[in-house]
Chain A
Amino acid sequence: MRRILAIVLILCLATGPARPASQSVVLVVRADSPVTEMDSVTVRKLFLGLPVLVNGKLLHPLRNRSDPLLDEIFFQQLVAMSQPSYDRQILIGVNRQGWLRPAEYNSEASVLAALAADPSAVSFMWQRDVGHNSGIRVVRVLWSE
């Protein structure tokens, strides 16, 4: 049963949108954002809802949910936990600590629009989708295949 599910998942992934043989997920901000670098621990803090300040300004995490694989990479690479654990941590942080839940966007365009509108916003996306967009800047590579 598990094997069949795995094969189906592989087939689904295989029949999904065509991707380049080598692809990367990158952390992005608006071009004029004060964020210049960010280590993996800070990235995790940010997307777990902990308040992260840069130059006295609170950063706003934007969770990109435009692609299922991107969602999986988010859990595995950015926050380094399973989805149920992440959901649990977010609930605990929001309800007990008063942290903010990261905003979620279901399309690449909406993520780009949100980044363009907020200099404190931090998000992630496929490297290829960044392209030659001069409005956003890559802070670091999160995952490469």
Chain B
Amino acid sequence: MERIVNSLRVRLIGVVLVILAALVPPLYLGVSAIVREGYAERFVNSLRAYSRLIADELEALDESDFDRHAVGVLDSAVLSGQVVFAEIRDGSRTLHSSIATPSVNAPPRDDFHFGDQGDKTYFITHTVNRADHSVALRLGFDEVPTREQIAAAERRVLLAMAAFVATSIAVAVWLSWVIARPMVRLQEAAQRVASGDTHAQLDVGSSIREVQEFNYHLEHMRRELVGANEHLSREIREREVSEQKRLDLERRLLHRERIATIGTLAGGVAHEFNNIMTPILLYSQLALEEAPADSALARDLVRVIAAAHRARSLVTRILTFSRVMDSQQPSVFPLRVPVEEALALLREIVPTNIEIVLAAPEEPLSVLGDASLVHQVVINLCTNAYEAMRGSGGRLAVTLAAVENPDEPHLRAGLYHVLQVSDTGHGMDQTVLAHIFEPFFTTREVGEGTGLGLSVVHGIVSSLGGVITVRSAVGSGTTFSVYLPAAAAAATPATAASVEA
């Protein structure tokens, strides 16, 4: 109810109704009074002039046969239509019109205003001067026709007022509709904007200038707000992306620091262990030289020396990971050469149910570094691929390519040569992927792997200024991508590894 009362249309109509209620009654009463006074004044004016004429006519009559002529004048007055009472008093003698309405009784006093004494007859007395005395002419004029005229006029005024009120209400309703319609449409548009449809136009269209200007300014404000909102949303999205990148970098930094710490520790241990291995090997070989050939002692010493060599090999790989291994002088070499050498070696040991495919362009794809390290990278990656497909068989694809500005977040812009090793093995889940480059992390049975293969690969790629990434999903195989700077751009080292699943 309150909502209806407070609506613009109802209020506009209500104001008009209140104004009409305040103005129409007094207006009607005023107009009616003017009408009544006009008719009354005309009536009084007319009867006064007419009665005066009658009196003058009587005054002009001869004394001879006055009574007969006087009655004739009175009858003539009655026959005029308005006179309903006519008499002449001459002392105690009274002359009456012979045709006047007999039921009309004259009051003792004259009327001076229309409606006096409430008898519906206007009585007037004129003194008619005769030769030696005066007589009184008394006439009564019927007020009823004038009253009827007044009533009819008042009805017409009432009808006119009713028409005026009806027209005013109709105009008020129409005006309220014209004024309120754009407001209602504007309100609906504003509701759409408020409910999230910020592109809803606030252009409601109106012929009223004030509404047009109001509309224009609101639409202008909406556009500014929408622009500001979009700007803020874009900034929020950018900040979210930046925050995500920051978190990602932070995570990678922590991962790299952990690997570096482990590498340093492992390098230190390997160095000390290498020092210990030197006298073991030296004295074992001296003892073997002194031991009788084909003796049990000699055979044992041979086993000791072989184990010592395996230990030294392990130490060497640890040192490679920790970059403490003595590296050869870097040189520019075609990437295809160590890859083909490694694949040739692998083809000798890989079962025939695993297909090895090399896809490489004709151009040399030169990189700067130690070719033997790349050879070791290929061996390690392909060995892991072979292990993933052992038993089930599959396809081991090695691809070489040149990529300009690769879409990898850890690489600077430039030309890179990519070594990609893909298998169709069992793949890895997220948990495994998160740790594969950590030293001593392995998924193989105890005694089957050292957990140093991929950490060594990571160390080699980093030492070559490249990046290694991995994409894998359980059941869909794994792809390692090694990005090495092309020979011209190899001077600026990049960093680390990236894992994707």
**Is A6 positioned at the interface, with any CB of B under 8 Å from its CB?**
yes
**Is A81 positioned at the interface, with any CB of B under 8 Å from its CB?**
yes
Number of interface residues of A (CB under 8 A): 29
Stretch touching chain A among B13-21, B121-129, B195-203? B121-129
**Is B44 positioned at the interface, with any CB of A under 8 Å from its CB?**
yes
Stretch touching chain B among A47-55, A59-67, A104-112, A137-145? A137-145
Question: Which B residues, 48 to 73, have Cβ-Cβ distances below 8 Å to chain A?
Answer: 48-49, 51-52, 55-56, 59
Q: Which residues of B contact A7 (CB under 8 A)?
A: 118
A39 touches B59 (CB 8 A): yes
Number of interface residues of B (CB under 8 A): 27
Closest to A78 in B: B52
**Is A2 positioned at the interface, with any CB of B under 8 Å from its CB?**
yes
Would you give the shortest CB distance from A35 to chain B, in whole angstroms?
A: 15
Would you give the shortest CB distance from A141 to chain B, in whole angstroms?
A: 5
Q: Which residues of A contact B115 (CB under 8 A)?
A: 2-3, 5-6
Given A6-B117, A72-B112, A144-B134, is A85 in contact with B127 using a C-beta cutoff of 8 Å?
no
**Is A97 positioned at the interface, with any CB of B under 8 Å from its CB?**
no
**Is A9 positioned at the interface, with any CB of B under 8 Å from its CB?**
yes
Given A76-B48, A80-B48, is A141 in contact with B117 using a C-beta cutoff of 8 Å?
no
Looking at the complex, which one of A40, A41, A75, A143 makes contact with B48 (CB distance below 8 Å)? A75
Looking at the complex, which one of B48, B129, B134 makes contact with A82 (CB distance below 8 Å)? B48
Q: Which residues of A contact B51 (CB under 8 A)?
A: 80
**Is B110 positioned at the interface, with any CB of A under 8 Å from its CB?**
yes
Instruction: Identify the interface centre among A7, A73, A75, A85: most chain B CB within 10 Å of its CB.
Output: A85
Closest to B33 in A: A1
Q: Which residues of B contact A41 (CB under 8 A)?
A: 56
B134 touches A141 (CB 8 A): yes
Q: Which residues of B contact A80 (CB under 8 A)?
A: 48-49, 51-52
**Is A33 positioned at the interface, with any CB of B under 8 Å from its CB?**
no
**Is A20 positioned at the interface, with any CB of B under 8 Å from its CB?**
no
Chain A residues touching B, majority SS: helix
**What is the CA–CA distance of A2 and B36 in the complex, to the nearest angstrom?**
10
**Is A58 positioned at the interface, with any CB of B under 8 Å from its CB?**
no
**Is B41 positioned at the interface, with any CB of A under 8 Å from its CB?**
yes
Closest to B60 in A: A39
Q: Which residues of B contact A73 (CB under 8 A)?
A: 112
**Is B239 positioned at the interface, with any CB of A under 8 Å from its CB?**
no
The interface bits of chain B over 115-143 (1 if a CB of A lies within 8 angstroms of the residue's CB, else 0) are 11110000011110100001010000000
A141 touches B110 (CB 8 A): no
**Is B444 positioned at the interface, with any CB of A under 8 Å from its CB?**
no
**Is A84 positioned at the interface, with any CB of B under 8 Å from its CB?**
yes
Instruction: Identify the interface centre among A2, A73, A80: most chain B CB within 10 Å of its CB.
Output: A80
B129 touches A6 (CB 8 A): no
Q: Which residues of B contact A84 (CB under 8 A)?
A: 41, 45
Q: Which residues of B contact A44 (CB under 8 A)?
A: 52
Q: Which 5 A-B pairs have the closest CB atoms?
A: A80-B52, A72-B112, A82-B45, A80-B48, A2-B115
B-to-A contact residues, CB < 8 Å: 36, 41, 44-45, 48-49, 51-52, 55-56, 59, 108-110, 112-113, 115-118, 124-127, 129, 134, 136
7 A-B pairs with C-beta separation under 8 A: A6-B117, A39-B59, A40-B59, A76-B110, A140-B134, A141-B127, A143-B125
